[in-house]
Amino acid sequence: MIRSFPLLNFFTVCSVVIFGSLTTLANAKARDISCGDIRYTIETSLFSTNVIINDVKENDVGNAKNGRPYCQSNADTQMEAELAVKGDDIWCVEKFYISMDRLPIAKSSRLLSLALGRVFEYEYLWQGGDWVKTDTRTIKCYNDETPERQKVLDRRTVE
């Protein structure tokens, strides 16, 4: 007679531990950063990064309005968007078309740099067979995270 119950129990316990750990790692961690009149909510998990844009009025500092994705294509306006995340840099490149079966006529690049605390926006037009930069904007951001408390040594204990 083969004893499979201890082996089966071992695999069951291992599966629960592994999948439970993956579920914990996959849970999203949210971070808010305000840049001008826009609040970005960045949700990161083991598998993906999701960024939501909220317009915030000056008198409603804590209230988010009009939540929408940071980077999303729109077939009605013939705009194609591509999101790229690398470390603390979140890029959105949007290409605008007259019709989707032709080459793009304009594009914009938006970089949300968490490390630098800034949003960089660049706009380009297709002219003479090359992309020509037409506008550049930089917006300073303010992180909503509270700074960690630091221990201040008492002078009496140091001496």
Neighbours of 40 (CB within 10 A): 19
Cα(first)–Cα(last) distance of the chain, in Å? 74
Q: What is the mean pLDDT of residues 149-157?
A: 58
CA atoms within 13 A on the CB side of 64: 13
- Least-confidence region, from 36-50, 104-118, 120-134: 36-50
Which domains are present in the chain?
Answer: 27-147 (2.40.128)
Distance, in Å, from the CA atom of 139 to the CA atom of 121, rounded to the nearest integer, reads: 8
Chain centre distance of CA 29: 11
Q: Is 147 exposed, middle or buried (0-12, 13-18, 19+ CB in 10 A)?
A: exposed
C-alpha separations of 71 from 40, 81, 140 in Å: 12, 6, 20
Q: What is the mean pLDDT of residues 135-157?
A: 69
What SS3 state is found at 141?
strand
Q: What is the pLDDT of residue 48?
A: 82
Residue 58 has pLDDT above 80, yes or no: no
Output the CA torsion sign for 28, 30, 36, 38: positive
